[in-house]
Amino acid sequence: MTRPLILHPDRLFPSDPVQRDIARRLYAAVADLPIVSPHGHTDPAWFAADAPFGNAAELLLHPDHYIFRMLYSQGVPLDALGIGNPDADPRTSWRLFAEHYHLFRGTPTRMWMDWVFAEAFGIEVQFSGETADLYYDRITEKLATDAYRPRALFDRYRIEVIATTESPLDTLDHHAVIRAANDSGEWGGRVITAYRPDPVVDPEFEGFRDNLARFSELSGEDAFSYAGYLAAHRNRRAFFAGMGATSTDHGHPTAATADLSDAEAEALFARVTGDAATPADAELFRAHMLTVMAGMSLDDGLVMQIHPGSFRNHNPRLFARYGRDKGADIPTATDYVHALRPLLSRYGNEAGLTIILFTLDETSYARELAPLAGHYPALKLGPAWWFHDSPEGMRRFRSQTTETAGFYNTVGFNDDTRAFLSIPARHDVARRIDCGFLAQLVAEHRLEEWEAAELAVDLSYNLVKAAYRL
């Protein structure tokens, strides 16, 4: 039995009629603002080549680990979904997704996907095993048209800028093609990069020594000496900034920082690049390099993002078969107060430095993160992230951080996604939730509505541009 696909205009707004009316008015003023996506993992090759997406599974299923981690949890093999298996039939993979779509009831993925189905592709019946082929054919047919090429979709959804994320070992060739298209007037879309040094900062990253050899080659520095290693970072950071980067990104297991002397750092570097490094050495080196990177950001102006607290690749069998980013990362408890003190003691009072903190540990919002950001000039709070990029997660973030850090020590919203069309879907959810939160403050006479209207624009657009220097 097919059922209609309905996106209710009041979805995610408060059920209280007074607050709902206020939320409607606030949302109407921000719904069509341009999208600023300052941190994410979309593929710059999409925008460089502007080639059509091949089919529904290629666009919507394969890049989205939110989808396939749920399916895997219910016994659907990743190979059958076409993950790490180019021989899988995409239509068959899509049918598997459709047959299991009920698993996503109540999840943010369900909201995002329904938005994409209805708004991007104009589909009017619900996704299910019964409608799988209709969806596949409709979406795949549209993807073959010029209106659904990557650049056209970028323009259609009023995307002002997207920041992708690349390692120092990336030559940024796709970004060079995009820049050439900008310079020639062929296309005006702004796609920039961000500097993610994890492969050459984390001694436990696979292929670390090989990565350092490539780092040396690209930078023209000897990355196996500590002085040359630091020079290589400065070299590559400058290259990334020249290609449009305004930020760095650091995905460490913890938020630990350290501030070692040059002699201590050189001795540690010798250990982590040798054969006798311990896990404690690796953690100390990562901790020291966060402080070093903060100093470099103070020098070159790149905004620093710290994304700690994920136990990466928790499933060893999955990692061995499919590699990173296959839905097996798990949040961990994270300390910030003690962990960040070495970095903040050195750089936290620098108003010219911006460090954006994220967390997967919501227990730290009110106890640690909001008080830290509410004090140190260098700190800002990133939005509810990853597992908490959801209506409830966003509400918890606002309710637990606002009274201590306010709104203006936060940085708006970023979507942090690999799935291109989930970008406008996620931003729409964030704007609706923020308007609902502000509506409650207005209804409780804690804000005037004109203040809430200004805040709605700031949270949707202005804060992110200012924080990321866009």
- Residues 330/248, Cβ–Cβ less than 8 Å: no
Element spanning 191, H or E: strand 190-192
pLDDT band (50, 70, 90) for residue 1: confident
- What was the pLDDT predicted at 164? 98
Q: Let me know the angle formed at the C-alpha of 436 by 435 and 439, rounded to the nearest 5 degrees.
A: 85
Q: Using only the alpha carbons of the chain, give its radius of gyration.
A: 23
Q: What pLDDT is recorded for position 465?
A: 98
pLDDT in tens, 156-184: 999 999 999 999 999 999 999 999 999 99
Buried b (16+ CB within 10 A) or exposed e, 241-254: bebbbbbbbbbbbb
Distance CA 117, CA 139 (A): 9
What pLDDT score was predicted for residue 41? Answer: 94
Predicted pLDDT of residue 352:
96
C-alpha triplet 82, 83, 85: angle, nearest 5°:
60
Give the pLDDT of residue 153.
Answer: 98
85 SS3 class: coil
The span from the CA of 404 to the CA of 374, in Å, is 6
- Over residues 114-140, the mean pLDDT reads 98
d(CA 427, CA 35): 7
Tokens 């990177």 belong to which residue?
Answer: 293
- How would you class 341 by CB atoms within 10 Å of its CB: exposed for 0-12, middle for 13-18, buried for 19 or more? middle
pLDDT band at 325; cut points 50, 70, 90 = confident
Q: How far apart are CA 303 and CA 284, in angstroms?
A: 23
**Rounded to whole angstroms, how far apart are CA atoms 340 and 372?**
10
Tell me: the pLDDT tens digits for 217-227?
999 999 999 99
pTM (whole model) above 0.75: yes
Contact 306, 287 (CB under 8 A): no
Q: How far is CA 234 from the centre of its chain?
A: 24
**Alpha helices in 188-278, H assignment, sequence order:** 198-201, 208-219, 226-242, 262-272
Q: Are 291 and 304 in contact (CB under 8 A)?
A: no
Tally Cβ neighbours within 10 Å of residue 259.
19
| Per-residue pLDDT at 438 exceeds 90 | yes
The band of 445, judged by pLDDT with boundaries at 50, 70 and 90, is: very high
Q: Over the chain, what is the mean pLDDT? A: 97
Amino acid letter for position 210: D
Using alpha carbons, list the distances in angstroms from residue 56 to 82, 144, 262.
12, 11, 53
Q: What whole-number distance in Å separates Cα of residue 328 and Cα of residue 108?
A: 18
- Angle at which helices 449-457 and 422-443 pack, to 10 degrees? 160
**pLDDT for 276:** 86
By CB atoms closer than 10 A (0-12, 13-18, 19+), residue 170 is buried
269's CB contacts (< 8 A; 6+ apart) are 226, 229, 285
Assess whether pLDDT exceeds 90 at residue 324.
Answer: no
Give, in order, the Cα–Cα distances in Å from 445 to each of 21, 153, 394, 439, 457. Answer: 15, 41, 22, 10, 20
Q: What is the pLDDT of residues 408-427, one digit of tens each?
A: 999 999 999 999 999 999 99
| Tokens describing residue 232 | 């290589």
Take residue 70 and report the two structure tokens written for it.
Answer: 């749920």
Question: What is the rounded average pLDDT of the residues 254-283?
Answer: 97
Whether 422 contacts 391, CB under 8 Å:
no
Count other C-beta atoms under 10 Å from residue 71's C-beta: 24
Q: Residues 314, 329: contact at Cβ < 8 Å?
A: yes
Two tokens, residue 212: 């350092």
**Average pLDDT, stretch 55-70?**
94
Q: For a pLDDT cut of 90, what percent of the chain falls above it?
A: 98
pLDDT tens for each residue of 276-300:
899 999 999 999 999 999 999 999 9
Q: Write out the H or E segment, with its range, that includes residue 192.
A: strand 190-192
d(CA 247, CA 304): 6
